[in-house]
Amino acid sequence: MNKNKLSVLLIALVTGLAACNQAAIVRPDAPAPKPQTAASKAVEIKSVEAKKDAIVVVKSQPVELKSNLAAEKSVGVCRLVSTKDGSLLPIKLTDKDTAEAKTFLETCINPYTQAYAKDPALILEKKAGGKKLYGYNGCSGCHGGKLEGVMAPSLSKRGGQGAFDTKWVYAKNSTDKGMFETIAAGTPGVSGGIMPTWHKQVEGHAGDGLSTDEILKIIAYIRSGYGGDGDKDWLNVKSQ
């Protein structure tokens, strides 16, 4: 093959490759891009707005968590929770609360339990003793006039026919904090009956409701009549 023929062949090869590349870049049969309609623009705008909304929701979550923490701190040092569902109880110190109520809301310790143990005469105080409050508010109708249990479990835990006449329905009731929570906001009815809500600061309370101080005195009265063989955790300050 002479040089002239070789040159012609190379020129033809280069020309063919260039044509192939051009065809790959701009295909005559390739569909033209569709023009953007008003409907497609609206969809695109909604998509962007949805993304913006999603960003706002994510950013708002930390703020909500902070507000919950603030609400928890506002109820005092003693963190009281519902026996029903474990939610935080909105019980706060009021200007009408006694020094004993304040002590409890700050420390979870019921001063009346210790006082009743030292001086049983306080239990029978005519105006606002624990026994009087227990009877006046109808506690005896379910738990018995002597804490023996009637329609509801025994509170003296001296024995009986019910499964919970020798042990607490809720283990936390062995502490004054736990029993306060159970009385204040009621129970889900594990023992077969539902304990109503009693604290006047908790929504849905029975009648006029009870104050923090009144519930503490009732608890102290219940402790004074305990005859079970379980641990008296309410006398152990550290267990509260």
Rounded Cα distance between 240 and 237, Å, is: 6
Residue-by-residue DSSP string for 32-46: PPPPPPHHHHHHHHH
Is residue 33 one of the residues assigned to a domain? Answer: no
Is residue 46 one of the residues assigned to a domain? Answer: no
Is residue 107 one of the residues assigned to a domain? Answer: yes
Residue 143, domain CATH:
1.10.760.10
For residue 85, which amino acid is it?
D
Nearest to 196 by CA among 188, 182, 204, 186: 186
Is residue 121 one of the residues assigned to a domain? Answer: yes
pLDDT at 78: 94
Tokens 């993304």 found at: 51
Confidence check: pLDDT of 136 > 80: yes
Rounded Cα distance between 127 and 47, Å, is: 69
pLDDT at 181: 97
Residues with Cβ within 8 Å of residue 193, at least 6 apart in sequence = 142, 151, 152
Is residue 134 one of the residues assigned to a domain? Answer: yes
Tokens 């300050």 found at: 237
Residues spanned by the domain of 144: 99-239
How many domains does the structure of the chain reveal?
A: 1
Rounded Cα distance between 232 and 222, Å, is: 12
Is residue 206 one of the residues assigned to a domain? Answer: yes
Is residue 84 one of the residues assigned to a domain? Answer: no
Average pLDDT over residues 145-155: 89
Query: Are 213 and 101 spatial neighbours (Cβ–Cβ below 8 Å)?
Result: yes
Helix, coil or strand: residue 211: coil
Per-residue pLDDT band at 65 (split at 50, 70, 90): very low
Sign of CA dihedral 77, 80, 85, 90: negative
Predicted structure pTM score: 0.66
For residue 1, which amino acid is it?
M
Per-residue pLDDT band at 59 (split at 50, 70, 90): very low
Is residue 138 one of the residues assigned to a domain? Answer: yes
3-state SS record for 87-100: CECCCCCCCCCCHH
How confident is the model over 184-222, as pLDDT tens digits? 999 988 766 788 999 999 999 999 999 999 999 999 999
How confident is the model over 1-22, as pLDDT tens digits? 555 555 544 555 445 544 444 4
Rounded Cα distance between 81 and 90, Å, is: 9
pLDDT at 92: 95
